[in-house]
Amino acid sequence: MKTKAFIFLCSISVIPCDLPNEIKEEEDTEIFLNKRCDPPCIFSEYYLTLETVDGFPKNCTTVCSDLRIDKKCDLTENQLAATFKNMKNLIGSLLIEETKYKSGTFLTGLETVECGSSDRVQKDINGFDKSFEKIPQFEWDINYEMLELGLTNLTRISCGFNKITTNVNLTRLNIPNLKSISYPSGNGKKMYVILDGVGYNFCITSGELLSFIKTSELQIDMSKVKYCEPPSTVETGKICNSTSITDGCTQIFGSLVIGPENEHLVHQLNTVEVIFGGLVVNNTNLTNIDFLESLKYIYHLDDKSAVIQIENNPNLSNFSFPSLVVAQTLANTKILFSNNNEIRTSDSTYCDRLKNMLNITDPRQIFFDGKYCDNLLAKSGKSLAFQLWIFGIMITIYYVY
67 — pLDDT class (breaks 50, 70, 90): very high
Q: What is the mean pLDDT of residues 363-370?
A: 89
Better-predicted residue by pLDDT, 261 or 18:
261
Domains of the chain: 3-227 (3.80.20), 239-379 (3.80.20.20)
Q: Are 179 and 156 in contact (CB under 8 A)?
A: yes
CA gap 98, 218 in Å, rounded? 26
Put the strands of the sheet holding 326-329 in their side by side order.
239-241, 251-253, 274-276, 297-300, 326-329
- What pLDDT sits at residue 359? 85
pLDDT tops 80 at residue 352: yes
Half-sphere exposure of 368 (CA within 13 A, CB side): 22
Q: What is the mean pLDDT of residues 372-377?
A: 81
- Of the listed ranges 50-54, 80-84, 312-316, 365-369, the least confidently predicted one is 365-369
Q: What is the mean pLDDT of residues 221-248?
A: 90
Most confident range (mean pLDDT) of 25-39, 88-102, 153-167 is: 88-102
pLDDT in tens, 105-136: 999 999 999 987 777 877 555 554 445 677 88
Q: Are 231 and 239 in contact (CB under 8 A)?
A: yes
Half-sphere exposure of 224 (CA within 13 A, CB side): 7
Which residues on neighbouring strands pair with residue 15, listed in sequence order? Answer: 192
20 — pLDDT class (breaks 50, 70, 90): very low
- What pLDDT sits at residue 225? 84
Better-predicted residue by pLDDT, 357 or 205:
205
- What pLDDT sits at residue 135? 85
* Full DSSP string of 287-351: SEE-S-TT--EEEE--SSS-SEEEES-TT--EE--TT--EEEESSS--EEEESS-HHHHTBHHHH
pLDDT tops 90 at residue 251: yes
pLDDT tops 80 at residue 161: no
Average pLDDT over all residues of the chain: 84
pLDDT tops 50 at residue 41: yes
- What pLDDT sits at residue 170? 93
Which residues make Cβ contacts (< 8 Å) with residue 140, sequence separation at least 6? 96, 97, 104, 146, 149, 163, 164, 165, 167
- What pLDDT sits at residue 5? 36
pLDDT tops 60 at residue 399: no
Is 212 strand, coil or helix?
Answer: helix
